[in-house]
Amino acid sequence: MDFLKTTVKDLHQELVNKSLSVADLTQATLDHIKATDDRYEAFITLMETNALEQAKKIDQAGVSSAQMLAGIPFGIKDNMVTKGVQTTAASRMLHDFKPIYDATVLERLSQAGAIGVGKLNMDEFAMGSTTETSYYKQTKNAWDQTKIPGGSSGGSAVSVAAGQVPFALGSDTGGSIRQPAAFNGVVGLKPTYGRVSRWGLIAFASSLDQIGPITRTVEDNALVLNAIAGYDARDQTSSKQTVPDFTANLTGNIKGMKIAIPKEYFGDGVDPKVVSVVKAGIAQLEALGAHVEEVSLPHTKYGVAAYYILGSSEASSNLQRFDGIRYGFRAENVQTLEDLYVQTRSQGFGDEVKRRIMLGTYSLSAGSYDAYFKKAAQVRTLIADEFEQVFGQYDLIVAPTTPNIAYGFGENQDDPQVAYMNDALTIPVNLAGLPGMSINAGFIDGLPVGMQLIGNRFEEAKIYQAAYAFEQATRLFDKIPGGDQ
């Protein structure tokens, strides 16, 4: 099954009409992944037995017109726990870990009838922006296999862009859904913090992590968010905010919408070619009736520094549970308890994870807390306040998703600070807890360019409204890897 040439909505109609059975669709999906994954290396684990059993049950019950996701296959970033299925977070530390329950998002998609077909590659414990820190494999960009796929949800974005599945789940701590979505020309949404339950998501930085959908089209993305959003008593940061129908405003009409353009997102460090493509996208929104004005977000330049102190501090705390005692990897031939801890964590974690644990532990130490962690928390508040002031006058903020397009493997790996700047335009959204989406705005040298739409808290509907209007006007999703449709 080639999902490059169809959508969730189209597949749903075929299942309702019984021109396609869920079992046939699921089997075709698994066969297609097996036939193509040597090229992309997006999947770590296939869930073949579970998927086919679930497909059989759905066929017996039948798919109604109201069940938009029933029988639709999807991929799962491998940091969401899956009952009885290997869940690795792309780390040696969890190479043999099989959870005893499903993450809330997977429970909800299962209740909607969607069928999880496999676990997707990622940067180890979601730390990275290229998927190169995975212990297992090196995922390739869907458009050019010599280029990185982005990260940390690289496997999720590639699986959709390459037509292996119609949608996938990713997680976004500093841009890990939007950046790979930009590099692969698909639609990636990081919802408002608290909109989607994090229960069952292996934590990286708990105050920043958020699960979201990656799809080929905006409408598909809204359909998936409809299914996974909403309050969950098991996640204490889950919001009781009302969940609207995110497809309700997909009309193509954005006349009168007020859009802010932050000048700092188009400055030093951003490729002029990227600026040109995104500005053309903004002109398209203006042509559709939006009112566009330039604004300033001056504290944006401190976002990366604040993020890496706060995120690494939370990571150093969250990852202390991986000690070789209770589950996961355990070093052999150790002599003492201290040796067990040291050898397990030294051998089980990769270099990037160790780097962030050390940075976080230092920032939280008694002699450094006020100088680093406290200052970073204050910067976070300033960034959130700036966004709040802008959203007092505007409906959306529009900017590039990334400073550049996808680049070659190995670039920037010798200098972590350069690599960290790849997330400079996405990180402020996480610090402020806002929703943000990346959609394809065009191409440079055959590679996609991401345009980021940022909304106020719990106003994902406005993002979908503008993104859908742009998508329908440009039809860029018709251009697919390997040639136009």
pLDDT in tens, 7-46: 999 999 999 999 999 999 999 999 999 999 999 999 999 9
| Residue 111, Cβ density class (10 Å: 0-12 exposed, 13-18 middle, ≥19 buried) | exposed
For the chain, the average pLDDT equals: 95
1 pLDDT band, cuts 50/70/90, is: low
For helices 48-61 and 22-40, the axis angle rounded to 10 degrees is 150
124 pLDDT band, cuts 50/70/90, is: very high
Q: What is the pTM of this model?
A: 0.97
111 pLDDT band, cuts 50/70/90, is: very high
CA distances from 332 to 160, 170, 255, 344, 406 (A): 40, 34, 65, 8, 40
Residue that is written with structure tokens 């009112």 in the block = 291
191, pLDDT greater than 90: yes
Which pLDDT belongs to residue 422?
80
Which pLDDT belongs to residue 202?
98
The share of the chain scoring above pLDDT 90, in percent, equals 94
| Residue 303, Cβ density class (10 Å: 0-12 exposed, 13-18 middle, ≥19 buried) | buried
Residue 450's nearest CA partner among 476, 418, 483 is 476
311, pLDDT greater than 90: yes
Which pLDDT belongs to residue 126?
97
Residue that is written with structure tokens 């742009």 in the block = 470
Please answer whether residues 150 and 89 qualify as being in contact, where contact means their C-beta atoms are separated by less than 8 angstroms. Answer: no
Average pLDDT over residues 177-183: 98
Domains and CATH numbers, the chain: 1-480 (3.90.1300.10)
The amino acid present at 406, given as its one-letter code, is A
Q: What residues are labeled active site?
A: 77, 152, 176
| Residue 222, Cβ density class (10 Å: 0-12 exposed, 13-18 middle, ≥19 buried) | buried
Altogether, the residues listed in the chain come to a count of: 485
In angstroms, the CA 76 to CA 45 distance is: 10
483 pLDDT band, cuts 50/70/90, is: low
In angstroms, the CA 63 to CA 113 distance is: 9
Report helix, strand or coil for 349: coil
Question: Worst-scoring range by mean pLDDT, 81-90, 214-223, 415-424?
Answer: 415-424
Tokens of 175: 């841009």
Q: Rounded to 5 degrees, what angle do the CA atoms 302, 304, 308 make? A: 120
Tokens of 257: 């919408």
Rg (CA), the chain: 21
Average pLDDT over residues 287-304: 97
| E-strand stretches of 91-155 | 115-120
84, pLDDT greater than 80: yes
Which pLDDT belongs to residue 418?
66
What does the pLDDT look like over 329-388, one tens digit per residue? 999 999 999 999 999 999 999 999 999 999 999 999 999 999 999 999 999 999 999 999
Average pLDDT over residues 391-417: 90
318 pLDDT band, cuts 50/70/90, is: very high
Tokens of 158: 């590639």
472, pLDDT greater than 80: yes
Average pLDDT over residues 65-89: 97
Tokens of 230: 């909403």
Residue 80's nearest CA partner among 111, 101, 50, 55 is 101
Tokens of 155: 């496997």
CA distances from 128 to 32, 151, 213 (A): 28, 6, 19
Residue 169's nearest CA partner among 81, 82, 75 is 75
Cis geometry, peptide bond prior to residue 207 (ω within 30 degrees of 0)? no
Q: Which residue would you say has higher pLDDT here, 247 or 269? A: 247
323-328: list long-range contacts, CB under 8 Å, 24+ apart.
Answer: 324/348, 327/97, 328/93, 328/94, 328/95, 328/96, 328/97
Please answer whether residues 376 and 305 qualify as being in contact, where contact means their C-beta atoms are separated by less than 8 angstroms. Answer: yes
Tokens of 212: 């979201």
Residue 181's nearest CA partner among 173, 303, 189, 270 is 189
Which pLDDT belongs to residue 485?
47
Instruction: Give the β-pairing of 447-455 and 436-444.
Output: antiparallel
105, pLDDT greater than 80: yes
